[in-house]
Amino acid sequence: MKYIDEFNDPDLARRLLDEIHATATRPWALMEVCGGQTHSIIRHGIDQLLPEQVELIHGPGCPVCVTPLDVIDKALEIASRPGVIFCSFGDMLRVPGTDRDLFRVKGEGGDVRVVYSPLDALELARKHPDREVVFFAIGFETTAPANAMAVHQARRLGLANFSLLVSHVRVPPAVEAIMSAPQCRVQGFLAAGHVCSVMGTAEYPELAERFGVPLVVTGFEPLDILEGIRRAVRQLERGEHRVENAYARAVREDGNPAALRMIQEVFEVADRNWRGIGRIPRSGWRLSEAFRAYDAEHRFDVGGIRTEEPAECRSGEVLQGLIKPTECAAFGTTCTPRTPLGATMVSSEGACAAYYLYRRMNSPMPQAARAAREEMNPVA
Amino acid sequence: MTADPVVDPANWSCPAPLRDQPVVVMGHGGGGALSAELVEQVFIPAYGNATLAAMADSAVLELGGARLAFSTDSHVVRPLFFPGGSLGDLAVNGTVNDLAMSGARPAYLSAAFVLEEGVELSVVERIARAMGTAAEAAGVTIATGDTKVVESGHGDGVYVTTAGVGLVPDGVDIRPQRARPGDAVIVSGPIGLHGVAIMSVREGLEFGIEIASDTAPLAGLVAAMLDVTPDVHVLRDPTRGGLAASLNEIARASGTGVRLSERAIPVPDAVAGACGFLGLDPLYVANEGRLVAFVPRPAAEAVLAAMRAHPQGTGATLIGECVTEHPGMVVVSTGLGGTRVVDLPLGEQLPRIC
């Protein structure tokens, strides 16, 4: 923990902040790609401490947020079937599909289990040969290697009752899509450190060159984020645009070769829908032909699902950095973590949820909520 | 997905129907907003009385000229035995602590067992013995009980429900509504140990060192605090939902704000490490042997000293204050100098994907 505490040191943070304040002479808009970074920024109040000229725009990197509605509905459909053990990371359980969520399926008798690793799901498949065990394989490049490993192991062990419902997405095509949008305001990126720890940084120099933006590979502790901002602002002030690694304790240029080999063996690049954003070419992975037998979508025939997002939800614009969560009329009124309209309010890493959870004292309290509170505490 | 106007979960007291939840889900037992909604919208309307609606850890009743604290709690924990304690310890300490949070001196408990067919008698015996030992340590007598057996597959081994009574001393009036701006907010020791201990054994997670539950009876500690001043305003043991849930309940019940200093909150390294690994917040993790107290500022130092002199309060720390700003809300000053809201959890915390 000492190691982590050092990355929370308020004196060091103050020095980095002073340097950022001294460096920034013009307005700059930076995007942190990853929801974990957004969470850390809001949780520690980093955005409140930056100079006014430096704006942080929250990027699309929350795996829970960007998992498309039709995939959630497929998960709900599969999890409801008798004989299935449906395994998921915890934070997917509250994400609403069209008419319910995985918690509801569990409450209605579905065998839905929270696991900490896809290998836990594999172990369940080994223990219950008479049941179909399905793992909800969502996420960015960070979770892909372990999910690939689970399928690889299933084949090696001859487990025919194990499959993945895959919704993997890749960061570089998303960066490209964001920068290609005509309204884009992003001038620099804090690239997601854990994604780069797997993939390395080889995909980024071309993007930095083509769009003229600095990309600073950044970790998740408060000092990591401040250092990432410091370097990005310094580049912008100097008119530079290159890839810098501010997370060298975890990221090598060539990433993690063993993890990359595992991904390449099991997955192939495919077009993919991002919830709230739409289809981005070559932005995802699916199981390759050799492993198609382990694809839950094929095994359970859930191709007929059609879905519709609520019209008033602006989470797509939030995910693309076009608006702040509080600029959406539904924020905190019709859309709350309890009754989310969109993905960004669902996930604990989502930008709307972060603003709702941590910044409500700065938001005007909705009239109904104020009335309820006054009724509850007439003295106050 | 519904798009009709809804109520901010921060204001769950609004008598809205249980939206979107036609069945019980695990979150209804998590000690957060869903639990509160169940009590407010199902139980209180069905029972209809003001004593229950006070929503304290125990009810304080006038009976035969005495002020009696009365409380009940069901205990379901998996596994039945864990580092630092067992179901038996929780069943006794849980009710003892609920009584103590009214300032009462706990006196008598009842113990009702629901046993699942097939459970080994030696397991039941170990739990009963743990209850006897815990009762002796807390200075209470288990005076009555009940046993039921359900068929195999209809229970989780052993469930224990305890109820308890105790006497509230004259001049003591401790309840969430009494928090006042200016009160010092004190926690009796390191937080999060019980929740992380249970998680580590239940999920088979190892965090490098063994983390033991903090389960303990708190009536002695409370008595030591009341010896310093009977004017303790609020006591709460932050069990399910953790410190965050307890402080939110107090803020809302009293219509005051609570401001905490993040760096002052005692989070053991092992708890911080486990929570960091799982993407959980220690403020929301359950405790079974800690209390949070709101005391008038002038008495705070003396109360802290008395707490630190007691075995259950050696780690007592001032973590914040009660304020007039942001009524009903808990706000924490972060280590870096920013601020954030600490909200009532919805249900149980869920580990994050990455």
Q: Is the CB of A312 less than 8 angstroms away from the CB of B269?
A: no
Q: Does the CB of A45 have a partner CB in chain B at under 8 Å?
A: yes
* Whole-angstrom distance, CA of residue A36 vs CA of residue B169: 50
Task: Answer yes or no: are the C-beta atoms of B347 and A102 closer than 8 Å.
Answer: no
Q: Is the CB of A334 less than 8 angstroms away from the CB of B341?
A: no
- What average pLDDT does range A15-31 have in this prediction? 97
User: Residue A364: pLDDT band by 50, 70, 90 thresholds?
Assistant: very low
User: Residue A366: pLDDT band by 50, 70, 90 thresholds?
Assistant: very low
User: Does A376 have pLDDT greater than 50?
Assistant: no
For chain A, how many helices (H) and strands (E)? Answer: 19, 11
Q: How far is CA A181 from CA A151, A184, A309, in A?
A: 36, 5, 22
Amino acid at A332: G
User: Does A68 have pLDDT greater than 80?
Assistant: yes
User: Does B121 have pLDDT greater than 90?
Assistant: yes
Chain A, nearest residue to B270 by Cα: A1
Q: Does the CB of A107 have a partner CB in chain B at under 8 Å?
A: yes
pLDDT digits (tens, 9 = 90+) for B288-322: 999 999 999 999 999 999 999 999 999 999 999 99
Both tokens of B174, joined, read: 């401790």
| Predicted pLDDT at B54 | 66
Q: How far is CA B162 from CA B67, B75, B80, B139, in A?
A: 20, 8, 16, 15
Q: Is the CB of A361 less than 8 angstroms away from the CB of B329?
A: yes
* Whole-angstrom distance, CA of residue A199 vs CA of residue A191: 12
Q: Is the CB of A139 less than 8 angstroms away from the CB of B5?
A: no
Predicted-assembly ipTM surpassing the 0.85 threshold: no
User: Residue A321: pLDDT band by 50, 70, 90 thresholds?
Assistant: confident
pLDDT digits (tens, 9 = 90+) for B142-168: 999 999 999 998 888 999 999 999 999
Percent of chain A with pLDDT over 90: 64
Q: Is the CB of B8 less than 8 angstroms away from the CB of A368?
A: yes
Nearest partner of B228 among B146, B161, B302, judged by Cα: B302
Rounded to the nearest 5 degrees, what angle is found at the Cα of B240, between the Cα atoms of B236 and B246?
A: 35
| Predicted pLDDT at B354 | 66
The 8-class DSSP code of residue A350 comes to: S
- What average pLDDT does range A10-35 have in this prediction? 95
Q: Who among A142, A360, A376 is closest to B252 (CB)?
A: A376
Q: Which residues of A touch B254 (CB under 8 A)?
A: 377, 380
- Return the minimum-mean-pLDDT range out of A325-329, B206-210, B273-277, B333-337: B206-210
Q: Under 8 Å CB-to-CB from B63, ≥6 apart: which residues?
A: none
Which one of A3, A70, A168, A358 would you mutate to disrupt binding with B, by most B Cβ within 10 Å of its Cβ?
A: A358
Percent of chain B with pLDDT over 70: 90
Q: Does the CB of B326 have a partner CB in chain A at under 8 Å?
A: yes
pLDDT digits (tens, 9 = 90+) for B316-336: 999 999 999 999 999 999 988
Q: How far is CA A242 from CA A186, B145, B270, in A?
A: 15, 73, 39
Residue B59 pairs in a beta bridge with B70
Instruction: Output the average pLDDT for chain B.
Output: 88
User: Does B19 have pLDDT greater than 60?
Assistant: no
| Predicted pLDDT at A347 | 75
- What average pLDDT does range B256-271 have in this prediction? 95
Q: Would you tell me which residues 226-265 of chain B have a C-beta closer than 8 angstroms to some C-beta of chain A?
A: 252-256
- Return the minimum-mean-pLDDT range out of A259-273, A361-375, B58-72: A361-375
User: Residue B26: pLDDT band by 50, 70, 90 thresholds?
Assistant: confident
pLDDT digits (tens, 9 = 90+) for A140-199: 999 999 999 999 999 999 999 999 999 999 999 999 999 998 889 999 999 999 999 999
DSSP string for residues in B43-62: IHHHH--HHHHT--SSEEEE
* Whole-angstrom distance, CA of residue B52 vs CA of residue B65: 20
Nearest partner of A143 among A34, A39, A31, A292, judged by Cα: A34
User: Does A6 have pLDDT greater than 80?
Assistant: no
Torsion of CA B97, B98, B104, B109, to 10 degrees: -80
Q: Would you tell me which residues 261-320 of chain A have a C-beta closer than 8 angstroms to some C-beta of chain B?
A: 310, 312
| Predicted pLDDT at A371 | 39
Task: Answer yes or no: are the C-beta atoms of B68 and B168 closer than 8 Å.
Answer: yes
Task: Answer yes or no: are the C-beta atoms of B328 and B11 closer than 8 Å.
Answer: no
* Whole-angstrom distance, CA of residue A204 vs CA of residue A216: 10
Q: Which residues of A touch B354 (CB under 8 A)?
A: 36, 63, 139-140, 142-143, 194
Inter-chain contacts counted by CB atoms under 8 A, chains A and B:
168
Pairing of strands B141-150, B105-116: parallel
- What average pLDDT does range A214-232 have in this prediction? 96
Q: Is the CB of B6 less than 8 angstroms away from the CB of A338?
A: yes
Q: Which residues of B touch A372 (CB under 8 A)?
A: 7-8, 11, 13-14
The 8-class DSSP code of residue A366 comes to: P
Q: Does the CB of B11 have a partner CB in chain A at under 8 Å?
A: yes
- Return the minimum-mean-pLDDT range out of A42-46, A242-246, A311-315, B191-195: A311-315
Buried b (16+ CB within 10 A) or exposed e, B210-238: ebbbbbbbbbbbbbbbbebeebbbbbbbb
Which one of B211, B259, B352 would you mutate to disrupt binding with A, by most A Cβ within 10 Å of its Cβ?
A: B352
Q: Does the CB of B27 have a partner CB in chain A at under 8 Å?
A: yes
Q: Torsions phi, psi of A187, nearest 5?
A: -110, -10
| Predicted pLDDT at A3 | 55
- What average pLDDT does range B275-286 have in this prediction? 88
Q: Does the CB of A10 have a partner CB in chain B at under 8 Å?
A: yes
* Whole-angstrom distance, CA of residue A91 vs CA of residue A343: 12
DSSP string for residues in A25-92: -S-EEEEEEEHHHHHHHHHHTHHHHS-TTEEEEEEEE-HHHHS-HHHHHHHHHHHTSTTEEEEE-GGG
pLDDT digits (tens, 9 = 90+) for B52-103: 666 677 899 999 989 999 999 999 988 999 999 999 999 999 999 999 999 9
Chain A, nearest residue to B272 by Cα: A1
